[in-house]
Amino acid sequence: MQSFEIDKSDLIRIKTALEGNDADLELVLKDYHASEIAILFERLPQEARERIINILPTEEASEVITEMTEESHPEELLVNLHPEKRSEIVEELDYDVATDIISQLDEEDQREILQDIDQEDATSIRALLNYQEDTAGGLMNSQVICVNINLTKKEALEDIIRQSEEMEEFYTIYVVDEAKILHGIVSIKDILKARSEIKVRDIYQHDPVFVKADLDQEEVAKLISQYNLTSIPVVDDHMKLLGRITVDDIIDVMEAENTEDILKISGVSEDEELSGNWKDAVKSRLPWLVINLGTAFLAASIIRNFDATVKSLAIISAYMTIIAGMGGNTATQALAVTVRRISLSDLSDRQAYNTVLKEFLVGLINGACNGLIVLAVACFYDANPMLGLVLFLAMTGNLVIAGITGASIPLILKRIGIDPAVASSIIITTFTDCIGFFLPLWLASKLLL
Amino acid sequence: MQSFEIDKSDLIRIKTALEGNDADLELVLKDYHASEIAILFERLPQEARERIINILPTEEASEVITEMTEESHPEELLVNLHPEKRSEIVEELDYDVATDIISQLDEEDQREILQDIDQEDATSIRALLNYQEDTAGGLMNSQVICVNINLTKKEALEDIIRQSEEMEEFYTIYVVDEAKILHGIVSIKDILKARSEIKVRDIYQHDPVFVKADLDQEEVAKLISQYNLTSIPVVDDHMKLLGRITVDDIIDVMEAENTEDILKISGVSEDEELSGNWKDAVKSRLPWLVINLGTAFLAASIIRNFDATVKSLAIISAYMTIIAGMGGNTATQALAVTVRRISLSDLSDRQAYNTVLKEFLVGLINGACNGLIVLAVACFYDANPMLGLVLFLAMTGNLVIAGITGASIPLILKRIGIDPAVASSIIITTFTDCIGFFLPLWLASKLLL
């Protein structure tokens, strides 16, 4: 079994079937899993998507819509469906999925969709719409299995089977009292093993790990990963059980957070949609570039100050770009390792100190090695050993500073509460450019002229 | 509830307790979850770790060892324990965890540990040691719950409860025949709901998603994420059930893969341990830097060829560094967005074409905007409008080429089967350096001299 990748032949098969009648199309669709149809949708026009959703049984149609990525805009598909079909599908969706999709619509469309569906579902979805999308509340599903703490084994088992009718998988069973206050969790295994007179209160596990509804989703992901949980209950300030977040939702959060990290470290706004259009991309990246242009002028002004040096030794302007560029690369390496290390765990003062010390050493050695190569080229190609010495010293100095900067700036940002990934390579390489221009020019002006 | 971060006070508390007697230490340890103790271990010396493991009940000690990161080297801790305590702990570990830890030891230590433990456990671990660490086989746990397809409801339920004694959570129940050939899955819910005369074969779900033992772990992660699974069965070539991989193992794989992506895109070898020492860091990064030094000489040789231009217009050497730097940044932005996009899903030819087209447009607009700023500076600060025109054209041209390169190189690498993240910003910025030096120098030599 391989991960599903869209094959030209699958696409041709679906497109051919779309030209035929419903019965043939239905037959072809049977060969695909809902998540595969969702991927095929990315390549199909809106009317083809609608036709397929209308043909599929409600349960599968809702699975396809669940699997569609945000960027395929499932909400547009939903709005265009016949109201009756749409209501059936929305009622079948998990509350958290329905909420995510409906939240993308304007208020009028939201109202129209919610008034047509079962009113108990509508109330739950309306409640979820109030939470911020990137918090525990926005991520949770309010459909959970919970048992009253005072039930006997037999009553609890019956209640669990009744509640599980509507759910695919039930993960953890939560133990609550009459006011829905969360007391703990109980495993189906422990219920099954218990003797018949045993009550839930005798066998449940106290002190479950839980989160408040307003906790940031990144923190939820850290908790689930740290405690190896398959799901985590979400409560309000009074410990009332509101819902639960499952590990598969967290995988999506982790993907999104990782995308953000890579984008930020590369000087792209974290909000840029990967498949967004050019207008959004310009909006997201131009500000960074303009900031960088300002700092680049700063670096260039250093060269201006050594105008005489450049005029009398034009070759230095070729070498200084090498030294500045190598500094940028060294800083980028130190930055990537440090940012990633911070994002996986917090560093103590001592670990932070050791990290900077390590990057100092790495910069020193890599600087000396590359400096020796440049020294050799200056001696043998340019026949100028003194220039070689200048370049050796400048290369070593710049790579030492680059290592220290690349490690310490994200560490400092983290300490003062700023996301360390913002110390993008774009910002840090400007700094190494300045030093990379200054050192060879200044050393040359002192030692060569 | 917040994610556990080590507090100075926790560390002081543990350290103080370590100076006291065992009873006091035991009392203090009771306040911490196993995963919290594992985090505290990162700050404690080897002998303190050993003492704590010896004091903890076997079950909790094994949980702590399970939660220790690879970089804290749980295998060293294990080797140093008293053989009897060690055997108890190893027998308590999940097979996949035990295998991962033991695989870090040399063969003699492996043999010594395995000969002391229960021989059924040892056989399972030895079998797992044969799989590559980064494949489904290396990731799987061979402890699964499976029921024979011919059992009745009552027999199946008894069998499941018996098997679940040894397991924390049982996720999915697999349906097999006498030869352990995988036929499907069955949910505990469906078993509970079934009438008593029903057999497993009447209620199980056919055609489960499965993986072969040699599948790369990254593909396993994609499948679990794509199909929203909590676990996936692992089989051999004859469909014999070997084990299962759970979603919490996949979270660790995803973290590791994401670290690799960020490191590679920044020109750091993917194998570099984040908290490794300076020697490993030099080994991992120096080769990249030397490759880059070679390409930097290439870029610098362009400047050498315009020696006369630089001599007669020294200011151009300041401006060309700005243009080259801005090209590097633009390419890094396009690269990050494209690499991340490819790693989340495969692009069709048309999507690939549109991506390059988009980056062309973004480069053109961002180039023209930044070009206008440089033009203005050249006009008003240097009072040289013709130089301004040269710089405007060079900036626009370089950013267009940077956008196209940043998007197309990872796409091309992916097509020819090379990891697109290898198109690190280090490699791509060398290219934009060359163009960034050439364009202003060449235009200046034609238009200004």
DSSP output for A242-277: EEEEEHHHHHHHHHHHHHHHHHHHTT--TT--TT--
Cβ contact, residue pair A337, B228, below 8 Å: no
Q: What's the pLDDT score for residue B371?
A: 96
Q: What's the pLDDT score for residue B143?
A: 82
**Banded model confidence at residue A280, pLDDT cuts 50, 70, 90:** confident
**Banded model confidence at residue A6, pLDDT cuts 50, 70, 90:** low
Torsional class of A330: left (φ above 0), alpha (ψ -120 to 50), beta (otherwise): alpha
Cβ contact, residue pair B321, A437, below 8 Å: yes
Cβ contact, residue pair B370, A332, below 8 Å: no
How crowded is residue A47: how many other Cβ atoms within 10 Å of its Cβ?
Answer: 10
Cβ contact, residue pair B333, A285, below 8 Å: yes
A31 interaction partners in chain B (CB closer than 8 Å): none
Residue of chain A minimizing CA distance to B330: A289
Q: What's the pLDDT score for residue B2?
A: 39
The whole-number average pLDDT for the span B24-47 is 88
Residue A36 C-alpha, separation from nearest chain B C-alpha, in angstroms = 9
> Domain residue spans in chain B?
8-130, 146-246, 278-447
Q: What's the pLDDT score for residue B4?
A: 54
> What is the interface size between A and B, counted as CB pairs within 8 Å?
320
Residues 6+ apart with CB under 8 A from B415: none
The whole-number average pLDDT for the span A301-326 is 88
Mapped onto helix, strand or coil, the DSSP state of residue B111 is helix
Cβ contact, residue pair B322, A248, below 8 Å: no
Q: What's the pLDDT score for residue B170?
A: 61
Best residue in B232, B251, B372, B429 to probe A by mutation, most A CBs within 10 Å? B251
The whole-number average pLDDT for the span B352-378 is 94
Residue that is written with structure tokens 């695989």 in the block: B103
Residue that is written with structure tokens 């019956």 in the block: A158
**Banded model confidence at residue B1, pLDDT cuts 50, 70, 90:** very low
Contact A383, A439 (CB under 8 A): no
pLDDT at A171 over 70: no
pLDDT at A168 over 70: no
Cβ contact, residue pair A297, B322, below 8 Å: yes
**Banded model confidence at residue A1, pLDDT cuts 50, 70, 90:** very low
Digit-coded pLDDT (tens) for B159-210: 888 887 766 666 688 999 999 999 999 988 888 888 888 999 999 988 888 9
Instruction: Choose between A444 and B127: higher pLDDT.
Output: A444
Residue A252 C-alpha, separation from nearest chain B C-alpha, in angstroms = 8
Range of lowest pLDDT (A2-16, A123-137, A409-423, B297-311): A2-16
Mapped onto helix, strand or coil, the DSSP state of residue A198 is coil
Cβ contact, residue pair B321, A314, below 8 Å: no
A173 membership: H or E segment, kind and range: strand A173-176
Residue A107 C-alpha, separation from nearest chain B C-alpha, in angstroms = 30
Structure tokens at B49: 């770790």
Structure tokens at A307: 């105008």
B361 interaction partners in chain A (CB closer than 8 Å): 278
Digit-coded pLDDT (tens) for A87-101: 999 998 888 888 889
The number of angstroms, rounded, from the C-alpha of B414 to the middle of its chain's C-alpha atoms is 18
Pick the CATH number of B146-246 from 3.10.580.10, 3.40.50.880, 3.40.50.720, 3.30.1330.50: 3.10.580.10
Q: What's the pLDDT score for residue A169?
A: 64
Cα dist from B237 to A226, B148, B149, B181, B242, whole Å:
35, 20, 20, 10, 11
Digit-coded pLDDT (tens) for A44-75: 888 999 999 999 999 899 999 988 888 888 99
Residue that is written with structure tokens 């020109």 in the block: B267
Residues 6+ apart with CB under 8 A from B155: none
Residues 6+ apart with CB under 8 A from A208: A174, A182, A184, A185, A233
Pick the CATH number of A278-447 from 3.30.365.10, 1.10.10.10, 3.30.750.24, 1.10.357.20: 1.10.357.20
The whole-number average pLDDT for the span A436-449 is 91
Average pLDDT taken over every residue of chain B: 87
Cα separation of A295 and B436, whole Å? 17
Nearest to B230 among A247, A252, A361 (CB): A247
A259 interaction partners in chain B (CB closer than 8 Å): 340, 344
Q: What's the pLDDT score for residue A218?
A: 83
How crowded is residue A230: how many other Cβ atoms within 10 Å of its Cβ?
Answer: 20
Digit-coded pLDDT (tens) for B284-296: 888 888 988 888 8
Pick the CATH number of A8-130 from 3.20.20.150, 3.40.50.1820, 3.40.50.300, 1.25.60.10: 1.25.60.10
Exposure string over A148-172, b if 16+ CB within 10 A, otherwise e:
bbebebeebbebbeebbeeeebbbb
Residue that is written with structure tokens 């979270």 in the block: B251
- Interface predicted TM-score (ipTM) of this complex, two decimals: 0.70
- Neighbour order of strands in the sheet with A231-235: A211-212, A231-235, A241-246
Torsion sign across C-alpha atoms A98, A99, A103, A109? positive
At A144, give phi and psi (nearest 5°): -130, 160
The whole-number average pLDDT for the span A365-371 is 95
Structure tokens at A102: 């409906």
Digit-coded pLDDT (tens) for B65-85: 988 888 888 999 998 899 899
A337 interaction partners in chain B (CB closer than 8 Å): 263, 266, 268, 272, 274, 281
Cα separation of B60 and B53, whole Å? 9
Cα separation of B228 and B209, whole Å? 11
Contact B155, B173 (CB under 8 A): no
At A185, give phi and psi (nearest 5°): -130, 160
Q: What's the pLDDT score for residue A346?
A: 74
